[in-house]
Copies of this chain bind each other. A is one copy, B any other.
Amino acid sequence: MQEGTFTAPGYSGETARPAPNVYAADCPTRLLLDRIADKWSVLILTTLGPGERRFNGLKRHIDGISQKMLSQTLRSLERDGLVQRDVVPTVPVSVTYAVTPLGRELLDALQAMIDWAERRMGTVASAQVAYDRREEELSLIA
């Protein structure tokens, strides 16, 4: 087994405890975030959105990803049923990846977030500049 395998936090030793609150650590949103709130998962999904791609095709398209992280994240997505891996036994072997129907659903659900990023990341960048400038001024007083 390779080092990082994206295992769930796994609250195993929970034998009849207070159970803090229901929003808690096992709410669906947190479980989802634990899986796709990383640097590459969403990028891979969106890249596969228009159609299937091969390993090195993905690697070329997603600038800066290492083959290790690509391989690792693809396996995680495959395990979660979001991506399907198909091996075509040519010589040399050719492997294609595609989003599953479940992955397509998630991709659709993520689209609003992606659209927001296109529209608003400029505003966010401005907010940062303004914030940093205020901080700068405050530190000059002291």
The contact of A23 among B32, B35, B61, B118, by CB within 8 Å, is B61
The distance from the CB of A141 to the nearest CB of chain B, in whole angstroms, is: 16
Q: Which residues of B contact A116 (CB under 8 A)?
A: 32, 105-106, 109
With A30-B43, A121-B28, A124-B80 known to touch, is A37 a contact of B38 (CB < 8 Å)? yes
Interface membership of A69, Cβ < 8 A: no
Tell me the complex Cα distance, A82–B124, Å: 8
Residues of chain A at interface, number, CB under 8 A: 56
A95 in contact (CB, < 8 A): no
Q: With A102-B127, A112-B112, A124-B80 in contact, do A28 and B118 touch (Cβ < 8 Å)? A: yes
A124 touches B39 (CB 8 A): no
| Additional A-B contact list (14), CB under 8 Å, known A31-B117, A81-B130 | A28-B114, A28-B118, A29-B117, A29-B118, A30-B43, A33-B43, A37-B37, A37-B42, A79-B127, A80-B124, A102-B123, A109-B112, A109-B113, A113-B113
